[in-house]
A and B are shown apart, each in its own frame.
Chain A
Amino acid sequence: MTAVHQFIPVLAPRDAVGAHTLSLRDLLREQGFDSEVFADWARPGMEGQCLPYRRYRRGRGETFLLYQASIGSPVADYLLQRPEPKLAYFHNITPPPLVQAWEPEVAAAGLAGWAQLRRLAPGLLAGLAPSRYSERDLARAGVARTRVAPLLVDLDATGRELDEAALSRLQAGKAGADLLFVGRLSAHKAQHLLVQALWAYRRAYDPGARLHLVGGWTGPSYRDAVARHAEELGVREAVNLAGSVTPGELAAHYRNADAFVCASRHEGFCVPLLEALHFGLPVVACREAAVGETLGGAGLVLPGRSPLALAAGVHLVLGDEGLRESLRAAGRERVAELALPRAKATMISVLHDALA
């Protein structure tokens, strides 16, 4: 039996990379491949889903190794020494200069990730990426054969659990529009710009508006700076730093929000954009990295990085029913294009092509 085993630095629950990896493993098994996931670190709750990468042993049949690349990891160094033919799925790596000042350790891991990718590149059968943006980065790193292959995201799962109590709490405090962003609190996601946009939006249109920032943080410094910035602008009580939430709470945030806002400077794909579309939310975002590509015309994508423009954009989509409905319809189409069954079919075709 032909085997395609995956290697991943960290397998974590409630994480797009982890969910994609497990979906791909199941898909490969459905297709008749032998497939296991090997990780450097399994976060609590994921121990049964993977094996330590050092315990990998080659079987008798033809074997391919697929690396889920997202950050520097000893897993990549290990793969460099393996003789089996290899592929990589590139989730992209945060450019170190964007986080250097705030999270030097993340920047260092990113640098290591880029270096490892460049070393792996010449030996790869093919490099896959969820967006053309990330595919270009793969090519720049020296991968000769690249393909866009969809991220396997089960959007329906996001709405399956709903924490009704959390939704009630969110709705009880509502005094105006609720803006939402979902993503790790990190400088490259520029949540401070969203705080500025909230300040402008409250001042110009809706004094009761709030901003909910859902997502954990690795280092406290950027999170503290965002909180302090909100305080200095007089909007601290309107900014909810929700932190890491359960799937049910996440669904409650999407259900409660009036608009999804995104000012990220770097996204290799950005699953929360799709989740927002799935929940029918209008999206207002800055045109950076893969953001415009992921939205595929289903959001209001603005040039530049202006908090006033973000505020005006939110005002426009919330005030113009026709625009909102057309965005919603475009969102439904985009979600259907990237829905799991279709994504699986494309992935299988791309993989067969890559392994041929």
Chain B
Amino acid sequence: MPDTAPDPSRLVEAEVGRLQAEGAFPPGVEAELARSFARLTPPDALDAAYIDAEVPTASRLPGGAPLKRLLRSLLGWYLGAVVQQANRANAALAGAIQDLGARLEALERNAALPPPPGGDLLGSLLGGPPPGPVLQAAAGQEGLLAELPDDSLGGLVLAGGLDRALAALARAKLAPGGAVVVLGVVPGVWAGLLGEAGLEGVEVVARPPALVGRRPAAGPA
């Protein structure tokens, strides 16, 4: 290229500036693109599986940095070998977890679960529309459920599991005649918990695998 020609990377920079000034792209579009792709990136836990043996050697104390560098070089052969073994083990574990995740996802896809089972599923189980709003909650959302007024829900769909406290909470939040559906791979193991909580007509549904219980139409919460 002739020496007098403008630096092309400067021209590119100017062109990007022009596009942004003219509003061809919204402000912060690159950050938004990066965030959009980051949402598709596997969980951070896998990134964290990598341990870096190159510890920083900066120091605020005079002579601290050279001392740290000396220590690092003296211990490097030992730490490096240990960290490499740990990293190999971590990477293998992370791979196994990722593999399991992929298999679970495939299993869930193959199970051909219907679209989010809310009112429709409850309606079909109850033989009519649920007597109030339906909440779908996943494991870990017990706090949200606890915030709701008692007797406020016509239906509750729980995904991911059940324990004694959650069963009692469900019983309290359901309006008379309302029903709870617990989705899970082996719903039968939780059946006793719904009975203990005072729900009736407890049944295990095969497809999708779910557990259903109803709050009696009348009676104290």
Contacts and interface: CB of A to CB of B under 8 A. Distances in A.
Interface of A: 96-97, 100-102, 104-105, 107-108, 111-112, 114-115, 118, 192, 196, 199-200, 203-204, 221, 225, 228-229, 232-233, 297, 300-303, 306-309, 312-313, 315-317, 322-323, 326-327, 330
A326 B30 contact: no
Contacts of B43: 101
Given A107-B91, A316-B8, A225 B16 contact: no
Provide the main secondary structure of the chain B interface: helix
Interface string B1-32: 11001001101110110011000110001100
Given A111-B91, A308-B20, 13 more contacts: A104-B46, A108-B87, A111-B84, A111-B87, A196-B30, A196-B37, A199-B33, A300-B12, A312-B15, A317-B8, A322-B5, A326-B1, A327-B1
Nearest to B42: A101
Given A96-B87, A101-B47, A308-B25, A316 B12 contact: yes
B30 A302 contact: no
- The contact size tier of chain B is 35 or more
A118 to B, nearest CB: 7
Pick the 8 closest A-B CB pairs, nearest first. A104-B95, A108-B91, A312-B15, A225-B40, A326-B1, A104-B94, A101-B42, A101-B46
A301 B9 contact: yes
B12 A229 contact: no
B41 interface: yes
Contacts of A301: 9
Contact of A323 (B8, B37, B47, B84): B8
A20 B46 CA distance: 34
24 contacts: A100-B47, A100-B94, A101-B46, A101-B47, A102-B41, A104-B91, A104-B92, A104-B95, A108-B92, A111-B87, A203-B25, A204-B24, A221-B42, A221-B98, A221-B102, A300-B12, A302-B12, A306-B16, A306-B30, A308-B19, A312-B16, A313-B12, A326-B1, A330-B1
